[in-house]
Chain A
Amino acid sequence: MSETNYLTTDYTLRSWFLTTDHKRIAILYFASLIFFFFIGGAAATAIRIELATPQGDFVSSDIYNRLFTMHGIIMVWFFLIPSIPNTLGNFIVPLMIGARDLAFPRLNLMSWYIFMLGGCTTLFAIFAGGIDTGWTFYTPFSTLYSNSYVIVAAAGVFIAGFSSILTGLNFIVTIHRLRAPGLTWYRLPLFLWSLYATSVILVLATPVLAITLLLMATERFFGVGIFDPRIGGDPLLFQHLFWFYSHPAVYIMILPGMGVINELVSCFSRKQVFGYKFVAWCSLAIAAVGFLVWGHHMFVSGQSLVASLVFSFMSFIVAVPSAIKVFNWTATLHKGSIHFDAPMLYALGFIGLFTVGGLTGLFLACLAYDVHATDTYFVVAHFHYIMVGGMVTAYFGGLHYWWPKITGRLYSEYWARAAAILIFFGFNLTFFPQFVLGAEGMPRRYHVYPPEFQVWNVLSSGGAVILAIAYLMPVFYFGYSAFFGRRAPANPWDAPGLEWQTSSPPPEHNFTSQPVVTRDPYQYDEDFHAEPQNA
């Protein structure tokens, strides 16, 4: 390749750490997230080793508390929330809308530094002795009783929140203002609609988490009773404020995944996404209604029955737009010319796993059943089906799909398909037994359990081994591909999106001439033949 691209313009460390190129910042995020993913994964591994036997023989209960807290905090705030937005989103958004960069490139770089500062603060808390509150920091345990690094960990999450806000702000402004000529809202790829909805949540929910953690840390540090019932404070207020952020945060963690799936399903069935406008508006509907369902985390907290009924009802409502998306993906497959390339295997896996996660969410939205299932493995299985089965699968799918664009190299299709299939089976073997355990009443967050639960726990731990191997596989074939893979053409999937109209990897400012959009997205009809403009 003779012309220079964003990877070859400059090789110095300085050019990476002071870059304002959204593509390089995406790579910085990508490297950091792999690091955090394996730290969180290591904690999960230790948890599954402990739970392979009913006795507490691998770690003490105190260490176990610190392990699942570390797993939760790292995976939620330092992997899932930034995963697709900050890596794939950062890389693809300007390319998809035909822009030369995000609206605020320096802010984008700053957001990475803030993220790393938050991450290092949290890691310090973990390695200095850990935290045992669970990722939810519930009061009054976190403020009065816990003897662990609560304030430091909360400070790390607080700092990382600003990075989320800046990224969300950047995406909102970019999607509003930097679209290529002719790229109207209804011509936007659906990935952008879901990232837009995600960004709205990031901007509006994250500050509430910030103020909540600040109040919690103030109470702990000064010993004043903001949430301390002994002087009139209300510990439930903490839960309300916390879930006002953290439930929408669940949608921060799944909406970008849904966005990726739109691209994949459409590309590998060679068809337009069925019901484009419905899918687009469903993203915003999920973001909006998602702000009104937080109380379903608190059905057994003692909130009023009226509140519980309303939150239960709203939780059923929020399932509607999610279901519409699943139906529309299925309808997109109908009579499509389906290609089972690796990204498509991930997409199909996503649809199945997300459906299971979504349907079991309806169980938990039922007041009566939720009382039975609260704080059992049923809940754990449910949200892992959404977060891991959904979001992580979508992340891997998107990574495979855009890998040729990002690196300019092709990966081994054989190994990629093998990993996709192995992830699907390993995941189900890990988490499906947990539904059974939960339904039979095994509570979460204990390091010992009665012997009759062992068979399901062994299945789950065995599945976790397969899952861990499957997650490690891409490290090898992607690593090989990045250095020795075959050169990728500009448009390996023959897809119509703007990101495929420029060379792979793209040049420093993405396009050599300003692209102009004249058609709807997903035009995979027979007269479509991608012609790279900058070939």
Chain B
Amino acid sequence: MRSRKMPDGSAFAPQYASIPHRDHTAELGMWVFIATEVLLFGGLILAYFIYRHAFPHGFVEGSRHTEIVIGTVNTAVLLTSSFLVAWAVEIFSPATSRIATWLLMGAACLGLVFLVLKGIEYSKEYDAHLVPGIDFQSAGPLADGVQLFFILYFIATAIHALHVLIGICLLTTLATICRKAPTTRHHTALRSAALYWHFVDMVWIFLFALIYLPGRSSS
């Protein structure tokens, strides 16, 4: 490639005045969508805090039953994948489309690794009879709190995993496009997808602290 300037992509939709206008508009759309997502997870985290406040010991006990090693590895996996995406956004241009493709594929693969590890964690919890509604056995005075902890744990991580899955699809699609003919339009799409992917990452950081860390320091 002789020029580092990206092709504009042929036309833009009639409601926009120019290509930058279109691109800024698209990005604002993603920010508003993220606002909606914050409230989705916010409601869930609120429920978590209310029950943690009501059952402090039960939640600590529940947290001790989680797989902190897998959780920590998963945090590293997701952060690394976010780093790769950020890198791809920075270098995105026709000249570097090969590298960007590899970075995006790498990020998507790390997303898959995250899901696989999460699946292993779920099966371990199933073996330990910790899945409320399907197979849950816990006795003692803390049983209610532990069960509420695990209900919220499964709902929160399942919704998060669904977001990861959608993110993987987005990244794979962009990697495919990127390999062929990247234009400014795809750069915008990539920036928006990256925003989403970082957001999913942020949610995980919150969930990690809420799920794996309570009660760890004192044990």
**A-B pairs with lowest CB-CB distance, top 5:** A222-B133, A232-B144, A207-B40, A211-B43, A101-B15
Q: A103-B25, A218-B133 are in contact. List 6 more A-B contacts (CB 8 A).
A: A105-B13, A207-B42, A211-B40, A212-B43, A224-B151, A231-B147
B interface residues (Cβ-Cβ under 8 A, vs A): 13-16, 21, 24-25, 28-29, 32-33, 35-37, 39-44, 46-47, 50-51, 54-55, 58, 132-134, 143-145, 147-148, 151-152, 155, 159
Tell me which of A94, A207, A212, A226 contacts B36 (CB under 8 A).
Answer: A207
- The answer to whether residues A222 and B132 also contact, given A207-B39, A212-B43 and a CB cut-off of 8 A, is yes
- In the assembled complex, A210 has its CB within 8 A of some CB on chain B: yes
What is the CA–CA distance of A10 and B143 in the complex, to the nearest angstrom?
A: 65
Which residues in B have their C-beta under 8 angstroms from that of A204?
35-36, 39
Q: Which of A287-327 contact B (CB under 8 A)?
A: none
Which of the segments A80-88, A168-176, A357-365, A517-525 contacts the partner chain? A168-176
Closest Cβ of chain B to A408, distance in Å, is 22
Which residues in B have their C-beta under 8 angstroms from that of A237?
47, 50
**Taking chain A's interface residues, is the majority helix, strand, or loop, or is none over half, making it mixed?**
helix
Closest Cβ of chain A to B162, distance in Å, is 11
- In the assembled complex, A165 has its CB within 8 A of some CB on chain B: yes
User: In the bound complex, do residue B47 and residue A169 qualify as a contact, i.e. CB atoms below 8 Å apart?
Assistant: no
User: In the bound complex, do residue A211 and residue B50 qualify as a contact, i.e. CB atoms below 8 Å apart?
Assistant: no
User: In the bound complex, do residue A100 and residue B15 qualify as a contact, i.e. CB atoms below 8 Å apart?
Assistant: yes
Which residues in B have their C-beta under 8 angstroms from that of A232?
51, 54-55, 58, 144-145, 147-148
User: In the bound complex, do residue B155 and residue A215 qualify as a contact, i.e. CB atoms below 8 Å apart?
Assistant: yes
What is the CA–CA distance of A91 and B168 in the complex, to the nearest angstrom?
A: 36
Q: Which of A150-194 contact B (CB under 8 A)?
A: 165, 169-170, 172-173, 176-178
Closest Cβ of chain B to A516, distance in Å, is 12
**Taking chain B's interface residues, is the majority helix, strand, or loop, or is none over half, making it mixed?**
helix
User: In the bound complex, do residue A234 and residue B39 qualify as a contact, i.e. CB atoms below 8 Å apart?
Assistant: no
What is the CA–CA distance of A226 and B147 in the complex, to the nearest angstrom?
A: 9
Identify the closest chain B residue to A171 (Cβ): B32
Which residues in B have their C-beta under 8 angstroms from that of A280?
none
Q: Which of A229-247 contact B (CB under 8 A)?
A: 231-234, 237, 241, 244
User: In the bound complex, do residue A173 and residue B25 qualify as a contact, i.e. CB atoms below 8 Å apart?
Assistant: yes
Which residues in B have their C-beta under 8 angstroms from that of A231?
143-144, 147-148
User: In the bound complex, do residue B32 and residue A241 qualify as a contact, i.e. CB atoms below 8 Å apart?
Assistant: no
- The answer to whether residues A169 and B15 also contact, given A208-B42, A231-B148 and a CB cut-off of 8 A, is no
- The answer to whether residues A203 and B25 also contact, given A100-B14, A222-B133, A237-B50 and a CB cut-off of 8 A, is no
- In the assembled complex, A367 has its CB within 8 A of some CB on chain B: no
User: In the bound complex, do residue B28 and residue A225 qualify as a contact, i.e. CB atoms below 8 Å apart?
Assistant: no
Which residues in B have their C-beta under 8 angstroms from that of A212?
43
What is the CA–CA distance of A206 and B43 in the complex, to the nearest angstrom?
A: 11
Number of interface residues of A (CB under 8 A): 43
What is the CA–CA distance of A223 and B135 in the complex, to the nearest angstrom?
A: 11
Q: Mark A199-220, 1 if CB is under 8 A from B, else 0.
A: 0000111111011101100100
Identify the closest chain B residue to A162 (Cβ): B36
User: In the bound complex, do residue A165 and residue B36 qualify as a contact, i.e. CB atoms below 8 Å apart?
Assistant: yes
User: In the bound complex, do residue A222 and residue B134 qualify as a contact, i.e. CB atoms below 8 Å apart?
Assistant: yes
What is the CA–CA distance of A99 and B25 in the complex, to the nearest angstrom?
A: 13
Tell me which of B21, B37, B58, B155 contacts A207 (CB under 8 A).
Answer: B37
- In the assembled complex, A104 has its CB within 8 A of some CB on chain B: yes
Which residues in A have their C-beta under 8 angstroms from that of B58?
232
What is the CA–CA distance of A232 and B51 in the complex, to the nearest angstrom?
A: 9
- In the assembled complex, A102 has its CB within 8 A of some CB on chain B: yes
What is the CA–CA distance of A234 and B50 in the complex, to the nearest angstrom?
A: 9
User: In the bound complex, do residue B36 and residue A101 qualify as a contact, i.e. CB atoms below 8 Å apart?
Assistant: no
Closest Cβ of chain B to A4, distance in Å, is 16
* Interface pairs (28), CB distance under 8 Å: A101-B14, A103-B25, A105-B13, A165-B36, A169-B36, A172-B32, A173-B28, A178-B15, A204-B39, A206-B36, A207-B36, A207-B39, A207-B40, A210-B40, A211-B41, A214-B159, A222-B132, A222-B133, A224-B151, A225-B147, A226-B47, A231-B147, A232-B51, A232-B55, A232-B144, A232-B148, A237-B47, A241-B43
Tell me which of A100, A210, A218, A225 contacts B155 (CB under 8 A).
Answer: A218
Which residues in A have their C-beta under 8 angstroms from that of B134?
222
Which residues in B have their C-beta under 8 angstroms from that of A177?
21, 24-25, 28
What is the CA–CA distance of A207 and B41 in the complex, to the nearest angstrom?
A: 8
Which residues in A have their C-beta under 8 angstroms from that of B155?
214-215, 218
Identify the closest chain A residue to B28 (Cβ): A173
- In the assembled complex, A509 has its CB within 8 A of some CB on chain B: yes
Which residues in B have their C-beta under 8 angstroms from that of A170?
29
Which residues in B have their C-beta under 8 angstroms from that of A100?
14-15
Tell me which of A103, A211, A221, A244 contacts B15 (CB under 8 A).
Answer: A103
Which residues in B have their C-beta under 8 angstroms from that of A178?
15-16, 25
Closest Cβ of chain B to A282, distance in Å, is 22
Q: Mark A69-94, 1 if CB is under 8 A from B, else 0.
A: 00000000000000000000000001
What is the CA–CA distance of A224 and B50 in the complex, to the nearest angstrom?
A: 17
Which residues in B have their C-beta under 8 angstroms from that of A215?
44, 47, 155
Closest Cβ of chain B to A217, distance in Å, is 11
What is the CA–CA distance of A223 and B40 in the complex, to the nearest angstrom?
A: 23
Tell me which of A176, A211, A218, A233 contacts B148 (CB under 8 A).
Answer: A233
Which residues in A have their C-beta under 8 angstroms from that of B44?
211, 215
Which residues in A have their C-beta under 8 angstroms from that of B21?
177
Which residues in B have their C-beta under 8 angstroms from that of A244?
43
What is the CA–CA distance of A231 and B25 in the complex, to the nearest angstrom?
A: 48
User: In the bound complex, do residue B13 and residue A224 qualify as a contact, i.e. CB atoms below 8 Å apart?
Assistant: no
Which residues in A have their C-beta under 8 angstroms from that of B43?
207-208, 211-212, 241, 244
